[in-house]
Structure 1
């Protein structure tokens, strides 16, 4: 088994690579080269960049400039001042009143002549109360606002601080220790005059590691330097080194010019090699730095690299020639991996290096699963099922595609497999395993089937299929289906075997099946175990008793089994794998408590639960900046924030947040609450900005929390500020309002008294005027009333006349009808021959005839009728004439008769024309009125 050195105290793992994050110059808006790195007490990182000082707070980048721009070295003092050295310039950054980094030049203290010989400041050191700025020719020592100069014996290369002592390398005097203003040569170091020493690191008591650029690694002890013959030295000799750093006091990081970095143990054995092929964006590491959380930062020749050494996870991906992993298994000293390309293996006893997985010939294609059953390793492949031994594929037992394989409980020597067409039985014979038969009766299967000895269980689309085999195992004798576990839980999500018990699960409720009662019984203990866990899709028990569960689209957690049999829920660390798991074909291979492999869409993840404690530190939240119109405070840089008061006109404020948490920045979430405005904390969000508009005057306190990828929540960061009231709601304004009201009351009271006296006079005059106006108004109203009475009398008279006219019209009509009757009588009398009568009768007949004629001729009712009709319908005739000026009096008479609804015969008699003449007159009237044939003439006249 591969041994991992000091697993509890060291997070540098032999298996796989840590997570690598690359930051390009476009990300931090600076130059390509980064020569030095430092970190302040708040966790902010600073990079000495060719374009200035780069600051990174975990959320955003910023850049501060110096004269000549380039910065080569950086150190941060306990006071918080950031000392930097650049091209012909050195000084320090401090925080101004706005929280911005303000540069103060120290080199300006030099005379112009001295400044000519400055060149690049390659190193900055802080020792006791002195700051050293080292160039090739001189070292400038800054103390109490004064500069002194330490001249190089010949020419300085670089300088180092080790065990609170300062060392210089001179090209003619070797290594020298600085003591009280003097340089003391170290014995046995003149041999390095022809090379550059880029690093000095402590190995053990009395031993120092010297890192040269092109001569390799040396151990210096008791005045003697000797080559450090080890793997790391071979790497440095081949690729040249630009220094290094101690990592967690147990490992050494060595930068190289040609091939990235290596991390070796204190014996020089390489543990990790990280270069461009393994995900680092550039192979030249100019600087390295270990941050407060033991993560590694690299200043590259082009960009910045972050290596997450402080994690229980490492990864074996494309640099190990692994693609999507569906399963893995440790078998007979080899780690086998099933991928979408085939099966690969690696010797478990050897160090995992790049390109170290070997492909098994004959396994090309989709490998779904690897299962170790009773000392045989089976590969379930798209092209069938076969065994593997000693890195070689055996013969195919069946050429159908297989997904899962299990032992038959109570039936040793038999296996049941799930293939593309259903299920099959395998039998162990003296010559080995062999295909026995395909089971008839069901043509579907699933990799997650299970068996309890009596039944074979399969879940498809929320339905549990319960199957029983016949005694000859050739077909399923019973196939029953179940679509619910009880009346409240519809559908069945998953079936799994835990602690040798088959459980059915829906909504995190776990049930067992009772064969005797043919129903499902809830296991309260298992349900309680999953009570506070997200709603899972499925789960299974690994080889060492942990329960792995999966939820959402591609997220997982683990119930790690404790020695006392209880379980510890570990959820948050696996958030780093969210989205990378192989959906539905999740693979967890637990070899032991320190080695758990997880299949990913791009390789394998190696998880060591023993290192879990190193990643659960509490993050820090910062309110990075506070902005209002026209002003911005970089509060994240400020140690002390005095009372902040903003005017009411600037009551639109903006906050930005940060957290110096660098391992999984994409999973960092913030929650905030503005006390005095918000009632509760906001939902977690990855957006580190919040704005508030139109705040009322008052005192406010911004509170911000952060949660990291491991689910650890920080203490809240606080920022108090006050919004001043507008001038019209200021306390002085209220005093003015009170005085104004008092003055107004006095003024109004005084004026009121004067007005009362004046008003008494004007009131009397006004009353008299009103009396006269009222009297005049009464007279006017009386006159108008009399006129109204007269008008009403005239209208009443007109109504009476109109009524009489209507009565006359009716009477005239009656007379007209009477004359008509008399005319009829005369016509009938004409038919009587008077000659046939005797004289008496003839005389009476003639007398009667004359009397009737006289009555008809003397009756003027026709004329009266026309007159009365015109009087009664005067208004109608007036309106008709106004609308149709061309209408004749005869046509107006016809319109009046039609309005009165007279018949054609009545109109013919009144107008003394024939019936045909009436129809012709009606036709002409319709044309005069412009009516269509379909329009009703009488109705039209009534509408006028």
Structure 2
């Protein structure tokens, strides 16, 4: 299984010169741009020195040594798991004058060796010891805990007891750059860059005559790595990667035509996880040697994306989006530089399925159903789009773009019988559960369970809509446990008693191979040893007999980071650290480094519930309360569960729960009580003042009201007195008038009689005459109109009469007197008696008066006269 990474993915750090793995599986790369770290999920880069980083030794993921141009040093993680670089090179300030490049680093039990072409720097107990090269080192190699140094002119040396001891003297004609050394049954094999392989045996160095040596000589070996006791890897300049066994047989040959981004392999590293890492001048690749997969990517556009395959009579048939291809099974051997496929004529187009029915290959194609006969095809049906082919009794069922077709075999030929009723739509999967029970998968609609009668008609149907399955790309699987449905998230099992699907508590649904086609959860069995997997732009084969126990034992669950954050800031933490309460959101990342298909499960604290298994390895916890938390994490890979000790982190008590906060609360409470007391006191005083003001206002209002009442009473009293006086005035006026008239009449009568008596006394002769005159006087007095009262009335109402005369000149004296009588309130009867007239005559006189005064009917005469 080959996986490529472009420079853009690891931040364009240039060529990769050396690699190393930490015990937990994290891989580190020495590149032009610095140190690179990759855990299978995230790339990180670090810059320590100014020059290109050339070499790396990884003790663990917290202690790393690197060598570069003009420098070498040590990387250590701090408490926050961030790397810090410390230079160990003693001549760093004068490096440009010395100009050393450190291309190799080797780790011994008690020392680290930093190697340049001129010197070896031995770092031990925080001390450096410098050992000069005999002439110039061209390479160094660690074999069986010993480090060997190749000197350009002096031969091969071994480092022992802090000194160099010569092992091999190079012959004069030996002018080669050594790239690797490994032990052989006959001696040592020396791997050279340009001259192939040499054998050192019986203290003699000679060329190793073999096909492998010739192949490597032509390919130009640049890097070498021993995979295990039986396998070796050679990285070349021209032809990519070769993996061989101890006998020199090429097992794998991988180059650009097989998927490598470059044929120049600058560095090789075999990790304990079973992955071979390739550092190149452009890109990084990794080949998983223990996952049983071989991937065939169509980088040249030869065959396309594989959807289905079948192996029959040692011929491999491959159905792709471009057509049907065939190849000899032996042609797929990994030691071949190129895989060759032959397109079967007239099969261009989408091939959906291939089935072996009684040693006859049937092909479901976009154009219909076909029989494949070696390099030719024969069409059976014109029904477009055959997704699935299933034999049932003497029939053949095909799931088409629209419905299900039924075929029956007549002799050696399949003939179309009919279309199945009641089931329409794109039927991309057909599964026979048992006698007369057919399952049909219709994407974007659902899954149908149909009971068939003897005429192959569905008489009963159960429809399970696609919405009841959480996830995408539902797929039906039948095994010894029954009928199951897989989605990209969960696994469901059919309960035939309740006629319903039940979701499994722990659903392990993930792709076994990188780039696997969506909706494909199970491989196609080719034979007892191999399975076929459809992959985008290619396909993959899985070899079934590789032991997985070693691989599972190497798994390590690693804490990558603890991050506390809020909306405005974030901070990295070390385990057990306490953070301020405002950073009470946490993001914790754990990973099984550089392993695919790992599921994770977690719970927070002992009393928490375990989450469901999932591929997410970053766990977030939001708005946590203060206190200590323990995060428990599990990882599941190949049915092996790895647990990690609890990750502890703490949230500080918020300031409002601390002792000084309680003192502040007490002071605030006391102040609040004081303020409330003072406020109540002031409020009470204010209320009293307001009550006093209200009482004063009430008293003032009552006084005003009382004054108004008294004034009203006084006015009423005065009005009553006025009315009384008016009435009295009226009475007195009448009385006065009567008395005045009586007195006047009496006085005149008496005076007249006195005069007559005096005359009669003076002249008795005239007594009779005077007596007669006195009788006549008395008679005339009774007839004389008494004007006295009118005169007095005129004098009493002189101003009133004057105003009336000014406004109404046409008024007579009688009219004026009538107005005076009306004004003083005499009623009609009283006025009639005074005037010695009938009441009816009074009414006539009053009507005439209204006309002279120009009064309208609705105007009151009395009111008018009182306003004059």
Classify the TM-score, shorter chain: 0.5 to 0.7
Name 1:621's counterpart in structure 2: 558
Contact 1:621 1:706 in 2 (8 A): no
Which of 487, 497, 520 in structure 2 is aligned with 1:552? 487
Which of 365, 375, 386 in structure 2 is aligned with 1:392? 375
Secondary structure, counterpart of 2:643 in structure 1: coil
Name 2:643's counterpart in structure 1: 715
Contact 2:40 2:595 in 1 (8 A): no
Name 1:789's counterpart in structure 2: 706
Does 1:375 pair with 2:369?
no
Matches within 5 A, 1:355-374: 355-374=339-358
Name 2:631's counterpart in structure 1: 703
Which of 6, 12, 22 in structure 2 is aligned with 1:40? 22
Does 1:278 pair with 2:211?
no
Name 2:533's counterpart in structure 1: 598
Report the Cα offset of residue 108 of structure 1.
1.2
Contact 1:58 1:658 in 2 (8 A): no
Q: RMSD of the TM alignment (CA)?
A: 5.3
For 1:441 and 1:654, locate their aligned partners in 2 and report how far apart those are by CA, in whole Å: 57
For 1:733 and 1:645, locate their aligned partners in 2 and report how far apart those are by CA, in whole Å: 19
Matches within 5 A, 1:213-232: 213-225=193-205, 227-228=207-208, 232=212
Name 1:242's counterpart in structure 2: 222
Contact 1:553 1:579 in 2 (8 A): no
Contact 1:175 1:190 in 2 (8 A): no
Secondary structure, counterpart of 1:139 in structure 2: strand
Contact 1:95 1:102 in 2 (8 A): yes
Which of 309, 318, 322 in structure 1 is aligned with 2:298? 318
Matches within 5 A, 1:886-905: none
For 1:547 and 1:214, locate their aligned partners in 2 and report how far apart those are by CA, in whole Å: 61
Report the Cα offset of residue 492 of structure 1.
5.1
Report the Cα offset of residue 162 of structure 1.
0.7
Could you give the per-residue CA deviations for residues 745-776 of structure 1, whole angstroms, max 9, x where no partner exists?
xxx9xxx9xxxxxxxxxxxxxx9xx9999999
- Residues 244/668 of structure 1: CA separation in 2 closer, same or farther (3 Å cut): farther
Report the Cα offset of residue 463 of structure 1.
5.4
Report the Cα offset of residue 34 of structure 1.
1.4
TM-score by length of 1: 0.62
For 1:425 and 1:381, locate their aligned partners in 2 and report how far apart those are by CA, in whole Å: 16
Report the Cα offset of residue 576 of structure 1.
4.0
Name 1:482's counterpart in structure 2: 460
Name 1:908's counterpart in structure 2: none
Report the Cα offset of residue 795 of structure 1.
6.8
State which drifts further: 590-599 or 397-406. Answer: 397-406
For 2:370 and 2:46, locate their aligned partners in 1 and report how far apart those are by CA, in whole Å: 64
Report the Cα offset of residue 669 of structure 1.
6.1
Does 1:439 pair with 2:418?
yes
Which of 650, 662, 687 in structure 1 is aligned with 2:594? 662
For 1:54 and 1:663, locate their aligned partners in 2 and report how far apart those are by CA, in whole Å: 18
Name 2:577's counterpart in structure 1: 644
Secondary structure, counterpart of 1:302 in structure 2: coil
For 2:405 and 2:850, locate their aligned partners in 1 and report how far apart those are by CA, in whole Å: 125
Report the Cα offset of residue 301 of structure 1.
1.4
Could you give the per-residue CA deviations for residues 514-536 of structure 1, whole angstroms, max 9, x where no partner exists?
xxxxxxxxxxxxxxxxxxx9999
Contact 2:237 2:263 in 1 (8 A): yes
Name 1:329's counterpart in structure 2: 310
Secondary structure, counterpart of 1:27 in structure 2: coil
Contact 2:490 2:509 in 1 (8 A): no
For 1:870 and 1:141, locate their aligned partners in 2 and report how far apart those are by CA, in whole Å: 139
Name 2:788's counterpart in structure 1: none
- Residues 661/372 of structure 1: CA separation in 2 closer, same or farther (3 Å cut): same
Matches within 5 A, 1:626-775: 626=563, 633=572, 635=574, 644-646=577-579, 651=583, 655=587, 657-664=589-596, 673=604, 686=616, 688=618, 690=620, 698-701=626-629, 703=631, 705=633, 707=635, 714-716=642-644, 718-722=646-650, 730-731=658-659
Secondary structure, counterpart of 1:122 in structure 2: strand
Say how many residue pairs are matched. Answer: 709
Radius of gyration: which is bigger?
A: 2
Question: Unaligned stretches of 5+ in structure 1?
Answer: 1-17, 470-475, 485-490, 495-505, 509-532, 560-567, 636-640, 753-766, 803-846, 872-944
Could you give the per-residue CA deviations for residues 297-324 of structure 1, whole angstroms, max 9, x where no partner exists?
2222133323333424332231484423
- Residues 548/620 of structure 1: CA separation in 2 closer, same or farther (3 Å cut): farther
Could you give the per-residue CA deviations for residues 726-755 of structure 1, whole angstroms, max 9, x where no partner exists?
7776547768999x99999xxx9xxx9xxx
Name 2:86's counterpart in structure 1: 104
- Residues 381/169 of structure 1: CA separation in 2 closer, same or farther (3 Å cut): same
Which of 82, 92, 98 in structure 1 is aligned with 2:74? 92
- Residues 654/219 of structure 1: CA separation in 2 closer, same or farther (3 Å cut): farther
For 1:730 and 1:55, locate their aligned partners in 2 and report how far apart those are by CA, in whole Å: 42
- Residues 623/795 of structure 1: CA separation in 2 closer, same or farther (3 Å cut): farther
Contact 1:84 1:90 in 2 (8 A): yes
For 1:53 and 1:452, locate their aligned partners in 2 and report how far apart those are by CA, in whole Å: 57
Contact 1:337 1:345 in 2 (8 A): yes
Does 1:51 pair with 2:51?
no
Report the Cα offset of residue 214 of structure 1.
1.4
- Residues 196/418 of structure 1: CA separation in 2 closer, same or farther (3 Å cut): same
Name 1:302's counterpart in structure 2: 282
Name 1:810's counterpart in structure 2: none
- Residues 725/31 of structure 1: CA separation in 2 closer, same or farther (3 Å cut): same
Name 1:22's counterpart in structure 2: 5
For 1:458 and 1:691, locate their aligned partners in 2 and report how far apart those are by CA, in whole Å: 43
Report the Cα offset of residue 467 of structure 1.
6.0
For 2:41 and 2:124, locate their aligned partners in 1 and report how far apart those are by CA, in whole Å: 35
Matches within 5 A, 1:792-811: 792=709
Does 1:152 pair with 2:133?
yes
Question: Unaligned stretches of 5+ in structure 2?
Answer: 495-503, 678-684, 720-837
Secondary structure, counterpart of 1:378 in structure 2: strand
By relative contact order (CA 8 Å, sep 6+), the higher-ranking structure is 1
Secondary structure, counterpart of 2:9 in structure 1: helix
Does 1:262 pair with 2:245?
no
Name 1:141's counterpart in structure 2: 122
For 1:271 and 1:179, locate their aligned partners in 2 and report how far apart those are by CA, in whole Å: 36
Contact 1:172 1:193 in 2 (8 A): no
For 2:514 and 2:163, locate their aligned partners in 1 and report how far apart those are by CA, in whole Å: 58
- Residues 538/212 of structure 1: CA separation in 2 closer, same or farther (3 Å cut): same
- Residues 134/741 of structure 1: CA separation in 2 closer, same or farther (3 Å cut): closer
Report the Cα offset of residue 75 of structure 1.
1.6
TM-score by length of 2: 0.67
Secondary structure, counterpart of 1:36 in structure 2: strand
For 1:864 and 1:298, locate their aligned partners in 2 and report how far apart those are by CA, in whole Å: 129
Could you give the per-residue CA deviations for residues 818-854 of structure 1, whole angstroms, max 9, x where no partner exists?
xxxxxxxxxxxxxxxxxxxxxxxxxxxxx99968746
Matches within 5 A, 1:573-592: 574-576=510-512, 580-581=516-517, 583=519, 588-592=523-527
Name 1:8's counterpart in structure 2: none
Secondary structure, counterpart of 1:581 in structure 2: coil
Secondary structure, counterpart of 1:186 in structure 2: strand
- Residues 407/74 of structure 1: CA separation in 2 closer, same or farther (3 Å cut): closer
Name 2:810's counterpart in structure 1: none
Report the Cα offset of residue 52 of structure 1.
2.1
